[in-house]
Amino acid sequence: MVSLDFKTVLGFVPRNVYERAQSDAFKAFDMLHGATGAGNGFLGWLDLPSQTDESLISRIEAVARRWKNEVEAVVTIGIGGSYLGAKCVIEALSGAFHSHVKGDFPHILFAGHNLCEDYMGELLEYLENRDFAIVVVSKSGTTTEPAIAFRLLRALLERKIGVKASAGRIVAITDASKGALRMLSDENGYQTFIVPDNVGGRYSVLTPVGLLPIALAGFDIRALVAGASVMEKACSERSSLNPALSYALIRNALYRTGKKIEILVNYNPRLQYFSEWWKQLYGESEGKDGKGIFPASASFTTDLHSMGQYIQDGERTIFETNILVEENVRQVTLGSEKNDGDGLNYLAGKRMGWINSMAQLGTMLAHVEGGVPNIVFKIDRIDECNIGELVYLFEAACGISGYMLGVNPFDQPGVEAYKRNMFALLGKPGYEEASAILKKKI
Ligand code: PA5
């Protein structure tokens, strides 16, 4: 179960600022749950966990069962919201040295989230002598990066096992009726799952976009959805006990006092990609109209040896949100040494988890003392249920927080600018005029 603590933050926020933010948080909550705010056509994620039906879960699990013994690797193709949700949950649940491999489940690989030739070249080489399948994810069905990856990987698969057999090794997750990926799937007879129209990419991890790759990796999607359902209930309460409302309130109160940068902090490397998912969720939802808290991330204690100086002592525009994990699955205890050459005998008999928790406490005390407010989320352990809770909590808080900022948290108009230039430079038909204008600039 997730808990939230922001008592050390209150000293940083003047009472009148807090009270104003509190009233705005309730108004934003009403906009979200009453569907009266901007982007209200994209609220399908709000009751997604409780509405997930058994037949969808069963269809997803059937694909996972079918491919479990048939393939060694599954390449999940997608970018942005069609990549980060699955990646963050799989990374969180996988072991550090067995990334994406659980028991005899296939190795989950990712593609289509960059345009790097070396990355793709290495992946094609890796797959050359392996049995693999493809999950291609694109809500629009037209995004360039995954489309390129799909063309290349499909060609390899078809060369290896033939066009007919390949159709049984490809699953597409896309729109019900629109887009190039839908057309390709219908023409070739690929099995498909639908991304609901009313769920945007960065809110889609609890749709087949996230659930299928997570199930393929061998994780329990029923527990993930159950955890999210528990949090859906907690986040639907119009109360200051609602953790999403409280988190949105406190981060906006801090923003209003000049804290413009939020660092999501973990002390467990399994959560690094959770931060990447969170950064997309908040960056793409809030960074618009010249506004928005800048979402950054750090993994401690690793980054205390790189970013620690700035956080302790640099410009005082930062606050931190910690995700602390209370239990470790494994026990690692420091031994005693006769000569105590490294001077560590004072820690003999202590578990690394305890040492890490002292580092957490010491860091928070130092940072708060240095003018960096610390919000704290705690989970007892990293498992499907708790990750489901965290995912839903951050989504719900993001909707409220975006409305508090006065932006539409469900669009992303700024993402189009780079695409326009890229298409013009690549010579895509229809972009001739933009190309001529750009060429004069370079
Ligand atoms: O959150 C978003 O909407 C984006 O990050 C998209 O998910 C991303 O651009 C990929 O889009 P699509 O799924 O249409 O290929």
Q: For residue range 265-287, what is the model confidence (pLDDT) as tens digits? A: 999 999 999 999 999 999 999 99
User: How confident is the model over 208-223, as a mean pLDDT?
Assistant: 97
More confident residue, 71 or 95: 71
Distance 48 CA to ligand 1 centre (A): 18
Q: Residue 100: which pLDDT band, with cuts at 50, 70 and 90? A: low
Candidates 111, 51, 53; CA nearest to 78 is 111
Instruction: Give the ligand 1 atom nearest the CA of 140.
Output: 14
Percent of the chain residues past pLDDT 70, beyond the cut: 99
pLDDT digits (tens, 9 = 90+) for 385-441: 999 999 999 999 999 999 999 999 999 989 888 988 999 999 999 999 889 988 888
Tell whether ligand 1 has an atom less than 6 A from the beta carbon of residue 140.
Answer: yes
| Residue indicated by tokens 């390949």 | 166
Contact indicator for 198, 43 with CB cutoff of 8 Å: yes
CB atoms < 10 A from the CB of 261, how many? Answer: 17
Percent of the chain residues past pLDDT 90, beyond the cut: 91
Residue to mutate (ligand 1; options 42, 82, 150; most atoms within 8 A of CB) = 82
> Six-digit token pair at 43?
């609220």
Q: How far is CA 67 from the centre of its chain?
A: 25
Of the residues 305, 338, 440, 441, only one is catalytic, namely: 305
Residue to mutate (ligand 1; options 45, 77, 79; most atoms within 8 A of CB) = 79
Backbone angles phi, psi at 400, to 5 degrees: -65, -45
**87 tagged catalytic:** no
User: How confident is the model over 120-129, as a mean pLDDT?
Assistant: 97
Q: Residue 102: which pLDDT band, with cuts at 50, 70 and 90? A: low
Contact indicator for 271, 75 with CB cutoff of 8 Å: no
User: How confident is the model over 211-228, as a mean pLDDT?
Assistant: 98
Tell whether ligand 1 has an atom less than 6 A from the beta carbon of residue 143.
Answer: yes
Cross-sheet strand order for the sheet of 294-299: 3-5, 374-379, 318-325, 261-266, 294-299
Q: Which residues are CB-contacts of 222 (< 8 A; sequence separation ≥ 6)? A: 57
* 432 vs 398: CA distance, rounded Å: 38
**284 tagged catalytic:** yes
Of the residues 91, 284, 286, 320, only one is catalytic, namely: 284
Distance 82 CA to ligand 1 centre (A): 6
Collapsing DSSP states into helix, strand and coil, what is residue 258? coil
Q: Residue 442: which pLDDT band, with cuts at 50, 70 and 90? A: confident
Collapsing DSSP states into helix, strand and coil, what is residue 435? helix
The pLDDT, as a whole number, for residue 187 is: 96
User: How confident is the model over 68-80, as a mean pLDDT?
Assistant: 96
Pairing label, strands 170-174, 132-138: parallel
| Model confidence at 101: pLDDT above 70 | no
In three state form, how does the secondary structure of 162-179 look? Answer: CHHHHHCCEEEEECCCCC
**160 tagged catalytic:** no
* 140 vs 199: CA distance, rounded Å: 12
Tell whether ligand 1 has an atom less than 6 A from the beta carbon of residue 79.
Answer: yes
| Model confidence at 188: pLDDT above 70 | yes
The pLDDT, as a whole number, for residue 177 is: 94
Closest residue (by CA) to atom 9 of ligand 1? 80
Q: Residue 309: which pLDDT band, with cuts at 50, 70 and 90? A: very high
CB atoms < 10 A from the CB of 254, how many? Answer: 27
| Model confidence at 98: pLDDT above 80 | no
| Model confidence at 303: pLDDT above 60 | yes
Backbone angles phi, psi at 287, to 5 degrees: -80, 80
Which secondary-structure segment (H or E) carries 399? helix 384-405
The pLDDT, as a whole number, for residue 194 is: 96
| Model confidence at 99: pLDDT above 60 | no
Helices (runs of H) and strands (runs of E) counted in the chain:
17, 10
The pLDDT, as a whole number, for residue 403 is: 98
| Residue indicated by tokens 């219908």 | 186
Considering the chain, what is the average pLDDT of its residues? Answer: 96
pLDDT digits (tens, 9 = 90+) for 329-356: 999 999 999 999 999 999 999 999 999 9
Q: For the purposes of burial, counting CB atoms within 10 Å of the CB of 437, is it exposed (0-12), middle (13-18) or buried (19 or more)?
A: exposed
Alpha helices, DSSP H, located in 172-322: 180-188, 208-216, 221-234, 243-256, 272-286, 308-313
Output the pTM of the full model.
0.96
The pLDDT, as a whole number, for residue 325 is: 97
